[in-house]
Amino acid sequence: MLHRCHVPPEAAGQRLDQWLEQALDGCSRSLVARCIRDQRCEMSAGKVKPGYRLRGGEVIDIEVPEIEPLAIHPETIPLAILYEDDDLLVIDKAPGMVVHPAVGHRYGTVLAAVLGRYGSCADDPQAPGLIHRLDADTSGVLAIARHPQALTYFQDQFRQRQVEKRYLALCAGTARSDWWTCREAIGRHPKDFRKRSVVPSERSGARSAHTDFRVRQRSPHYMAVEACLHTGRTHQIRVHLAHAGHPVLADAVYGRHGQWPLQGAPILQRQGLHAWSLGLSLSDGSFRRFFASVPADMAALVDPTVLNEGPVLSDGDQPAVASAKP
């Protein structure tokens, strides 16, 4: 999991590895050293060494691998429930809420809240009941299975691409086309451990990816774009929009800034990406779509007409311009 750490002034004089061990709950100094050795740690002050003495004010990016599943402890945390039956729970995940425990985020997760609500869930020790995932800063529809058989049933729909996934993205600039599609393969970025990137399909580790986009609103300096995911690669929408020259607003990894607007009081302080709707077949075979309202921070930048209409892309829609760069 990727972490961005801001070193406070009072940490001046501490060793980098010691401070990170304290700052990231569940992370050991040996694990920090491994991340540095594997070039998965960067610092604004320059070259990273475990024994570097902090000055205060540094910004550190570190990707900590999931060495082993962390225990999930039930917690009483409110969830915005969109649907619930004996097999499935669908929630509207709040921005900033981590889905499953990881180093630096052991508590306050979606799965801890689910266990607190039901006492048990599907028996995958690494991600009990988790049918799919959302980044911590991405809000919206998230589906969780309530027992192992349901987990298999719903995950099979994702693997066979039988689900409908619609996102709303606020992104920089303005596209020439109202519609476009991107089928560029995605893999790890060759230089930046934090990122995925568009890569040649024949490259080792490249995975096919397909996203359709439709512009729903054009405003000065940004657009509201509806995205239809046909595949589910890590950071797929963020990568494809950045590749098209329209990075998601307030996306500090694929864009240039972690807030929007750049001048004055920020409205967005997390990536402007929302899982707007999810369609799948319930256990009785009926197809059902679930919708999550756009959160206030993004809604403040979107025309009310767009918010009221909701997602409009359907699997039968074909982009007017089939181009990776609109």
Give the pLDDT confidence of 132-151 residue by residue, as tens digits: 999 999 999 999 999 889 99
Instruction: Pinpoint the residues of the chain covered by CATH 3.30.2350.10.
Output: 81-159, 164-309
Tokens of 300: 């403040």
Residue 49 in contact with residue 58, Cβ under 8 Å?
A: no
The span from the CA of 241 to the CA of 238, in Å, is 5
Q: What is the pTM of this model?
A: 0.79
**197: amino acid identity, one letter:** S
Which residue would you say has higher pLDDT here, 187 or 38? 187
Known catalytic residue at 135: yes
Q: What fold does the segment set 81-159 form as a domain?
A: Pseudouridine synthase (3.30.2350)
Q: What is the CB neighbour count within 10 angstroms for residue 323?
A: 15
The pLDDT of residue 326? 54
Q: What is the CB neighbour count within 10 angstroms for residue 139?
A: 29
**171: amino acid identity, one letter:** C
The arrangement of strands across the sheet holding 41-43 comes to 2-6, 59-63, 41-43
CATH number for the domain running over 164-309: 3.30.2350.10
Which residue would you say has higher pLDDT here, 24 or 163? 163
Tokens of 159: 């693997």
Average pLDDT over residues 200-229: 95
Q: What fold does the segment set 2-63 form as a domain?
A: 3.10.290
| Alpha-helical regions (H) of 27-109 | 29-37
What is the tally of helices (H) and strands (E) in the chain? 7, 14
| Alpha-helical regions (H) of 132-191 | 148-159
Tokens of 320: 């007017």
Query: At a CB cut-off of 8 Å and minimum separation 6, what does 22 contact?
Result: none
Could you tell me which residues are beta bridge partners of residue 25?
none
The pLDDT of residue 42? 84
* Minimum mean pLDDT range among 20-24, 116-120, 202-206, 257-261: 116-120
Instruction: Pinpoint the residues of the chain covered by CATH 3.10.290.10.
Output: 2-63
Active site residue: 17, 61, 135, 251, which one? 135
Highest mean pLDDT among 9-18, 111-120, 158-167, 248-257 belongs to: 158-167
The pLDDT of residue 203? 92
Tokens of 163: 């689900």
Highest mean pLDDT among 9-23, 52-66, 150-164, 262-276 belongs to: 150-164
Q: What is the DSSP letter of 50?
A: T
